[in-house]
Amino acid sequence: MTIKDRIERAAPDLTASERKLAAALLADYPYAGLVAIQELARRAETSAPSITRFVAKLGLSGYQEFQRGLLLELKEGETSPVELHARSGRSAGGYLSDFIDRAAGLMADSAKAITEDQFARICKLLSEPQRSVYAIGGRISNTIAFHMTFHLRQMRKDVFHLPGDMETWPEYLLRMRSGDVLFVVDFRRYQHGLERLCRKAAQDRGVRIVLMTDKWLSPIARNASEVLAVPIESGTLWDTYSSALAVTEAIVTRIAEDNWDQTRARIKAWDDVRFSDQDSVK
């Protein structure tokens, strides 16, 4: 269980000052908890003894154990396939059926990790016509970002998928306006270039960042308006993105259904152009 999970589980039993401390920790998670206890007390406008009592409510022996847990989470976020392979075990039964069972379980878990209210907020944000939507992902997770933009482009205008070449990013940054949306997919072994891009987009351009990440949280979360933390642990040497793809498909399908008249008209116009181009080639 992560420290974030412990905080959320303990939430109903927290006092008003402890809820304020929890909010300060979650606002810059996990980095806020890695400072000295006196510094955290100053930032959260509380006292060191209050933090000690808060940590005890989380089921931890003290602030040192609390910080060790955060550091382990950061280390877990950098775990490589080589390290994951050393932990994984082969299925005793059919490999394919076992793998799919695990993926199905992760998809079910993702539905619990994201509230319906948050899901609706993100769908609304991505569908509002006054906002341009930009998207990008990591080395492998970029396929998730591309999947989303491919569908969104058939529903609305002003949707852009950023290329992987960082040298082209300034062009897109300069296009972005305050209130636009940057949808970013960044799973463990996080990419520092994406973090810098999001920091500039949020702080310099006023862009709303929607981050899809894992339970260890990409550093991009510090500048994100919305964070979708989806499960990715398959128990093998590779993390699985099946739950991330399922959530992405749920988002684009919800947007299409909520804006069906506009979507239908755009798909028809899209197909008219696409098929007429094919005819001209013949």
Tens of pLDDT along 215-229? 888 889 889 999 998
140: phi then psi, degrees, rounded to nearest 5: -105, -40
**pLDDT for the residue numbered 61:** 92
Confidence of residue 93 (pLDDT cuts 50, 70, 90): low
Centre a 10 Å sphere on the Cβ of residue 275 and count the other Cβ atoms it contains.
10
Least confident residue range of 27-41, 244-258, 268-282: 268-282
Centre a 10 Å sphere on the Cβ of residue 47 and count the other Cβ atoms it contains.
14
**pLDDT for the residue numbered 120:** 95
> For residues 202 and 17, which has the higher predicted lDDT (pLDDT)?
202
Q: What token pair was written down for 168?
A: 């082209």
Residue with tokens 């028809």: 268
d(CA 46, CA 52): 11
Tens of pLDDT along 105-131? 888 888 888 889 999 999 999 999 999
Which range scores top for mean pLDDT: 70-84, 170-184, 257-271?
170-184
**pLDDT for the residue numbered 92:** 59
Q: Which helix (H) or strand (E) holds 211?
A: strand 208-213
Q: Sketch out the chain's domains with CATH numbers.
A: 3-76 (1.10.10.10), 119-271 (3.40.50.10490)
Closest CA to 208 of 218, 219, 220, 217: 220
Displacement of CA 215 from its chain's centroid (Å): 9
d(CA 279, CA 151): 24
Distant-in-sequence, close-in-space partners of 119: CB < 8 Å, separation ≥ 6: 250, 251, 254
Distant-in-sequence, close-in-space partners of 33: CB < 8 Å, separation ≥ 6: 3, 25, 40, 66, 67, 70
Least confident residue range of 5-14, 57-66, 190-199, 230-239: 230-239
> For residues 239 and 145, which has the higher predicted lDDT (pLDDT)?
145
The chain-wide mean pLDDT, for the chain, equals: 88
* Side chain identity at residue 128, one-letter code: E
Helix spans in 45-154 (H): 48-57, 63-76, 81-87, 95-113, 116-127, 142-153
DSSP character string of 208-250: EEEEEE-TT--GGGGG-SEEEE-----SSSS---HHHHHHHHH
d(CA 190, CA 168): 20
E strands in 71-127: none
Centre a 10 Å sphere on the Cβ of residue 62 and count the other Cβ atoms it contains.
13
**pLDDT for the residue numbered 47:** 92
Confidence of residue 30 (pLDDT cuts 50, 70, 90): confident
Tens of pLDDT along 187-216? 988 899 999 999 999 999 999 999 999 888
d(CA 134, CA 202): 13
Q: What is the DSSP letter of 190?
A: -
Confidence of residue 81 (pLDDT cuts 50, 70, 90): low
Displacement of CA 111 from its chain's centroid (Å): 14
Centre a 10 Å sphere on the Cβ of residue 32 and count the other Cβ atoms it contains.
19
Q: What token pair was written down for 177?
A: 């306006």
